[in-house]
């Protein structure tokens, strides 16, 4: 049908949709967002200083969730190759260039969250054998910190965008949502040391769900905002 004779309701239905933009706390002028303006959801980058706007991804399955790197130098996304939601994290320079794997040492799997802080990147992946949490320190290949048959996610994995509830601002603490107590509907929280995997603290309320919201943005301030079902 010719666009000139489309009814207003149909034009609204066919109009491109854009997600909320997102940015790193350390590089607020480097923005990443998703749009279906090309016909398939893809990531786009916007430099608010230079005015540069460009499409980053061009994947037939589509990409809906991405985030800048901590320093704003790149765009990160989890790429699902076939549509089964299993894949890996990729990175591309913010201005454009070659796309490469982001985290060496993390196997392909289902995304359970990724968080960044100075000197630390943490990621959680699930596969048919269970759930695992990995951490890369100072750019070295990631190492497995812990593994479980029960659900483990980094921060508020379902929130999308730059994860603010995973790693503390100084990168010394990592918050996980988990179901190791056997109740997937009502997750509990565990804070660990991302360098050793040692547990720092546990918080749960039987029969009630706890979710992480965000750490204080001030390095050294270890307060964590959470959402309680009650």
Around Cβ 163, how many Cβ atoms within 10 Å?
A: 23
Query: Can you list the alpha helix ranges (DSSP code H) found in 69-109?
Result: none
Among residues 43, 77, 102, the one where a domain terminates is 102
Q: Which domain holds residue 159?
A: 105-230
Number of domains in the chain: 2
Q: Parallel, antiparallel, or unpaired: how do β-strands 100-101 and 86-93 relate? A: antiparallel
Query: 130 and 23, same structural domain?
Result: no
- In order along its 230 residues, the chain shows pLDDT tens digits of 455 688 888 888 888 999 999 999 999 999 999 999 999 999 999 999 999 999 999 999 999 889 999 999 999 999 998 888 899 999 999 999 999 999 999 999 999 999 999 999 999 999 999 999 999 999 999 999 999 999 999 987 555 678 899 999 999 999 999 999 999 999 999 999 999 999 999 999 999 999 999 999 999 999 999 999 87
């Amino acid at each position: 049908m010719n666009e000139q004779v489309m009814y207003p309701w149909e034009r609204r239905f066919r109009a491109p949709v854009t997600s909320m933009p997102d940015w790193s706390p350390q590089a607020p002028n480097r923005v990443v967002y998703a749009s279906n303006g090309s016909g398939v959801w893809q990531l786009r980058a916007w430099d608010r200083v230079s005015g540069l706007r460009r499409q980053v991804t061009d994947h037939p399955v589509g990409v809906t969730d991405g985030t800048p790197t901590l320093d704003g130098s790149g765009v990160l996304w989890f790429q699902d190759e076939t549509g089964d939601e299993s894949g890996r994290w990729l990175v591309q320079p913010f201005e454009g260039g070659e796309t490469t794997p982001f985290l060496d040492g993390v196997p392909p799997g289902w995304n359970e969250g990724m968080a960044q802080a100075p000197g630390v990147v943490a990621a959680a992946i699930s596969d048919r054998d269970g759930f695992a949490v990995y951490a890369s320190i100072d750019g070295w290949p990631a190492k497995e910190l812990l593994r479980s048959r029960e659900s483990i996610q980094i921060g508020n994995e379902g929130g999308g965008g730059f994860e603010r509830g995973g790693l503390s601002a100084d990168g010394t603490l990592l918050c996980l949502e988990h179901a190791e107590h056997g109740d997937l509907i009502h997750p509990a929280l565990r804070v660990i040391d991302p360098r050793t995997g040692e547990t720092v603290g546990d918080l749960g309320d039987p029969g009630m769900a706890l979710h992480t919201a965000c750490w204080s943005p001030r390095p050294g301030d270890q307060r964590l905002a959470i959402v309680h079902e009650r």
